[in-house]
Amino acid sequence: MCHVLIIEDEPLIALDIEDLLREHGALTFSFADTQEDAVTRSLEQRPDFILSDVWLHEGTGPHAVASIRRELGTIPVIFVTATPEACTPCAPPGRIFRKPLDHPAIGAAFRQMRAAS
């Protein structure tokens, strides 16, 4: 089973990411559009993988991921953002991709990171 938490405040992008990751083996999803909501969703159902935007309407994806990791331990993450240089803290293990979505590259990274975890 692979449960993915998608942290993204643009609904169409979140649905596009869901479709992409489902094609590569993800089975279930939780969605969050704020930093606080991301932490709450992760505590309701521990994600096996996180895909996160950086800037959210409220808070940031990297700070949400850092909080989630403090609570639940290391979880693989891919950040997708229009501003990769603003991705802090985006410490490994993680990958950063620039928007617009590069479906083949993100799909390959997702499969590779899942296999390694």
Q: Is the overall model pTM greater than 0.85, yes or no?
A: yes
Going along the chain, which residue ranges are E strands? Answer: 3-7, 28-32, 49-52, 77-81, 94-98
Q: CATH no. for residue 76?
A: 3.40.50.2300
Q: Is the pLDDT of residue 34 over 70?
A: yes
User: Which residues constitute the domain of residue 49?
Assistant: 3-116
Q: Is the pLDDT of residue 116 over 90?
A: no
Q: What is the pLDDT of residue 91?
A: 62
At residue 69, the 3 state secondary structure works out as helix
> How many CB atoms are located within 10 Å of the residue 54 CB?
22
Q: What is the pLDDT of residue 3?
A: 98
Q: What is the pLDDT of residue 83?
A: 86
Domain count, the chain: 1
pLDDT digits (tens, 9 = 90+) for 58-112: 999 999 999 999 999 999 999 999 988 888 777 666 799 999 999 999 999 999 9
Question: Strands of 77-81's sheet, edge to edge?
Answer: 28-32, 3-7, 49-52, 77-81, 94-98
Give the pLDDT band (50/70/90) at residue 39: very high
At residue 75, the 3 state secondary structure works out as coil
CA 62 from chain centre, in angstroms, equals 9
Instruction: Find the mean pLDDT for residues 29-56.
Output: 97
Interatomic CA distance for residues 44 and 79, integer angstroms: 22
